[in-house]
Chain A
Amino acid sequence: MKKIVRVSSDLRSNLVAYLDGELEEDVSRQVEMLLAQSEVARHDVEMLSRSFDLLDMLPREKASDTFTQQTMASVAALDKHIPLVHRRWFGWLQRGLAILLWVTVLGVAGFGGYVVGQQVWPSSSELILEDLPLYENLHLYREIGDVEFLDQLEQRQLEGPLRGEFPDEGNVTEEAQP
């Protein structure tokens, strides 16, 4: 007596994939087992296969002899009417201009930074020049050696090194002499 095995919808969908060789090995084995047991499945597989083969009867239409020629003519026309923005040289020009713009921006930024830096931060030689009177009279400050005395001179508004009007050493000695 023939054994009747029901074909589940899952297995049924696997039958097509089995025919197409698209199943994994273990699933393929399941289908083969089913085919060995079920006459219904065997019939289905045969009908699926034969109905698919019938599609071979459909005519295979071909392109006309002039198809390539016409397509290449259309391509040539396409090249002629290519918009400016899609032309290769325009792309290069765009890239060149962008690079030039960046170089200019960086150059201007660098120069501006240098100028601003010059204005805001004095150079070391400027700092030295600023303190020049101090350096020039350093030996006198050392001789006085007392800040309070200098303050008193300041209060009396006497001429002195604090005002930067200190007379030359030579003149001082001359005046000091009777």
Chain B
Amino acid sequence: MVTTSSLDLKYLRDPDVRLMLRVRDGDEKAFSQLVENYQDRIVGIFSHILSDHEAAEDLAQEVFLRVYRTRRGYQPTAKFSTYLFHITNNLASNSRRKKSRRKEVEMPQGNTTTFGVRPEEEIAVEKSALMPTRQLTREELRSQVRESLESLNDREKTAILLHKFEGMSYQDIAASMDMTEPAVKSLLARTREKLRIILEPLIR
């Protein structure tokens, strides 16, 4: 039988868990160290999700402030990165909900102009990029990859980002996203299949 204390001991090997325990005891230097360790990773994830660096930094800061505010109740029941990405995922979900509520009352933006017509140049570039015979520039390819990521829904995007850029296991992704491991397996399989279908013409 696995006891709580044995679980705690398992996670105490994680140096960031040990830092967080120091934060819990009021050590601000330890907190500063944690911020430095994770700032780029959290900002990176939010940048991909929100496509807005400034908003990504604001949300990343909110993640750290939330960690700090709740430090006294911290219990090492998971790897620190899992704990942190769980908060990240929650904040990302909240942010997306707020964003979608705002969109309901805003005028449509993005790929359409004021008159609902996309500029011809834009369409031309997109079409030419999809032509298999044409050699894509690196920048065009990057743009296509970014669009393929944008085409994913929020859960798919978060799961693929945690897996790709954080190298997280299915188990850790499940813990971060409040899902079961089989659900993560299925979600990632679906997502990778979507990406394969979108990106395959670029690979050939």
Q: Are A51 and B200 in contact (CB under 8 A)?
A: yes
| The stretch of B2-10, B118-126, B190-198 that contacts the partner chain | B190-198
Given A22-B185, A57-B141, does the pair A62, B44 have CB atoms closer than 8 Å?
yes
- A44 CB to closest chain B CB (Å) equals 7
Q: How large is the interface on A (under 10, 10 to 19, 20 to 34, 35 or more residues)?
A: 20 to 34
Contact of A67 among B44, B57, B148, B203 (CB under 8 A): B57
Q: Does B17 contact A (CB under 8 A)?
A: no
Given A22-B169, A62-B44, A63-B60, does the pair A54, B145 have CB atoms closer than 8 Å?
yes
Q: Are B170 and A71 in contact (CB under 8 A)?
A: no
Q: How many residues of B contact A (CB 8 A)?
A: 48
Q: Does A70 contact B (CB under 8 A)?
A: yes
- B20 CB to closest chain A CB (Å) equals 14
Q: Are A54 and B199 in contact (CB under 8 A)?
A: yes
| The stretch of A72-80, A132-140, A146-154, A165-173 that contacts the partner chain | A72-80
| Residues of A contacting B: mostly | helix
Q: Report the number of A-B residue pairs with Cβ-Cβ less than 8 Å.
A: 115
Tell me the B9-36 residues at the A interface (CB within 8 Å).
28, 31-32, 35-36
Tell me the B174-190 residues at the A interface (CB within 8 Å).
185-186, 188-190
- B27 CB to closest chain A CB (Å) equals 12
A57-72 vs B: 1/0 string, CB under 8 Å? Answer: 1111111100110111
Q: Does A31 contact B (CB under 8 A)?
A: no
A75 to B198, CA, bound (A): 43
Residues of chain B within 8 A (CB-CB) of A57 are: 138, 141-142, 145
Query: Known pairs A17-B185, A54-B141. 11 more at Cβ < 8 A?
Result: A14-B189, A20-B188, A48-B192, A51-B203, A54-B195, A55-B145, A57-B141, A58-B48, A58-B149, A60-B44, A62-B40
14 contacts between A and B (CB under 8 A): A13-B185, A15-B189, A20-B163, A22-B170, A50-B203, A51-B192, A54-B141, A55-B149, A55-B164, A58-B142, A61-B44, A61-B47, A62-B39, A71-B35
Query: Which A residues fall within an 8 A CB radius of B?
Result: 12-17, 20, 22, 44, 47-48, 50-52, 54-55, 57-64, 67-68, 70-72, 74-75, 78
